[in-house]
Amino acid sequence: MISGGSSPEGRRHGARSRIGHMTSPFLMRPEIIDGNRRRAAVEYLRTADVVLPTFSELADPALIPTAIGSSLGSVGPDEPNRKNLWRVHWFNDADRRGRAPVPGHVVLPEALTGVKSPIVVLLGRRFPMIGAHKVLAAYACLVPRLVTGEFDPRQDRAVWPSTGNYCRGGIAISRILGCRGVAVLPTGMSRERFDWLQEWVSDPADIIRTPGTESNVKEIYDKCAELADDQDNVILNQFSEFANYLIHYHCTGAAFDHVFSHLKGMNSDYRLAAFVSATGSAGTIAAGDLLKSRHGTKIAAVEAIECPTMLCNGYGEHNIQGIGDKHIPLIHNVMNTDLVVGVSDLASDSLNLLFGGNVGRSYLVGRRKIDPDVVRTFDEIGISGLANIVAAIKVARHLEFGADDVIMTVATDSALLYASERQNFLARRYRDGFDEVNAGEIFSRHLEGIVDDHVLELTHVDRKRIFNLSAVHPAASRCRFWQDAQSDCSSVQREVESHGKFAACCVGLRHPQVLQRLAAWLAAFASSQKQ
Ligand SMILES: Cc1ncc(COP(=O)(O)O)c(C=O)c1O
pLDDT by residue (tens digit) across 55-104? 899 999 999 999 999 999 999 999 999 999 999 999 999 999 999 999 99
pTM of the entire predicted model:
0.89
Ligand 1 centre and the CA of 213: distance in Å? 14
Which protein residue has the closest C-alpha to ligand 1 atom 5?
A: 322
Residues with CB under 6 A from ligand 1: 134, 163-166, 278-285, 321-323, 382, 384, 412-413
Q: What is the mean pLDDT of residues 516-525?
A: 69
282 Cα nearest atom in ligand 1: 11
User: Is 184 a residue whose pLDDT tops 70?
Assistant: yes
- Best residue among 125, 127, 165, 236 to mutate for probing ligand 1, ranked by most atoms within 8 Å of CB: 165
pLDDT tens digits along 376-397: 999 999 999 999 999 999 999 9
* Amino acid identity for residue 51 in this structure: V
Dihedral angle at the C-alpha atoms of 467, 472, 476, 478, nearest 10 degrees? 160
Dihedral sign for Cα atoms in the order 273, 278, 282, 284 = negative
Q: What is the mean pLDDT of residues 39-65?
A: 92
Ligand 1 centre and the CA of 3: distance in Å? 35
In whole angstroms, what is the distance from residue 85 CA to residue 53 CA?
Answer: 7
Which protein residue has the closest C-alpha to ligand 1 atom 13?
A: 322
In whole angstroms, what is the distance from residue 354 CA to residue 169 CA?
Answer: 28
Question: What CATH number labels 107-127+243-457?
Answer: 3.40.50.1100
The percent of residues above 90 in pLDDT, for the chain, comes to 67
Which protein residue has the closest C-alpha to ligand 1 atom 4?
A: 322
In whole angstroms, what is the distance from residue 360 CA to residue 347 CA?
Answer: 14
Cα angle for residues 3, 159, 46 (degrees, 5° grid): 60
pLDDT tens digits along 443-488: 999 999 999 999 999 999 999 888 877 654 333 333 444 344 444 4
Q: Which residues contact 138 (CB under 8 A, 6 or more apart)?
A: 160, 166, 169, 170, 172, 173, 236, 238
Ligand 1 centre and the CA of 75: distance in Å? 27
Q: What is the mean pLDDT of residues 37-42?
A: 90
In whole angstroms, what is the distance from residue 37 CA to residue 33 CA?
Answer: 9
